[in-house]
Amino acid sequence: MASLQSLLESSEIISQGAEAKVYKGYLTSPPTDPVLIKYRFPKKYRHPQLSAQLTRTRITSEARALARCVRSGVRVPDVRLVDVDSGIIAMEWINGKSIRFLLGDYEGDSGTHNSSVGETLGNYDISEGQLMVMMGVALARMHQADIIHSDLTTSNM
C-alpha cells in the first residue's frame, strides 16, 4: 500500500465525488504515458468491513465492465492497474473533455462557466446532435453486450 499511497500523493487530483477521488498520474518512473487513477476512499460513516467489501466489489465490477466494453467495441479506456484492497483502478488517460463540460455545464479549473454549447463543441468540430448520436450508439453497444452502466451521467462520459 505504501507505493500506492505514494502514487496518489505524486498525482494531480482532477475531481472528487461522493464515492471517489480522480487523479491524473503516472505508473512509471520516469513518467511516460499518463493514467487516470480512481481512488475509492473508505467511508467513515460505514462499518470498516462493509466499506472494504463494497469497495472491492465495485472496483472489480468496474474493471470487468471496462474489459467487456472493449470486447464489445465500445471505446473506453484500457485498464492499467487494479488493486481492490486499496480501492484503486488506473486506466488509460484519454485527452479531451467530459460530456458535461462539452454541454457547457461545468466549471473548469479557471472557474469559468461555459455558456455556449456551440462554442465548446465547435472546438471538436461536432454538433450537439452528433454528440447525442455518438452517446446513444455507445450506450446501445453496452446494452447489447448486457452491460448496464449504473451511474451514467454526463460527468462520467
Q: Give yes or no: 78 in active site.
A: no
Helix, strand, coil share of the chain (percent; to 5): 40, 20, 40
Please pick, among 33, 78, 85, 151, the residue that the annotation labels catalytic. 151
User: C-alpha grid cell for residue 123?
Assistant: 472546438
CA distance 152 to 34: 24
Q: 42 vs 50, 90, 98, CA distance in Å?
A: 10, 17, 26
Whether residue 30 is preceded by a cis peptide bond, meaning omega within 30 degrees of 0, is: yes
CA distance 46 to 25: 28
Give catalytic residue positions. Answer: 151
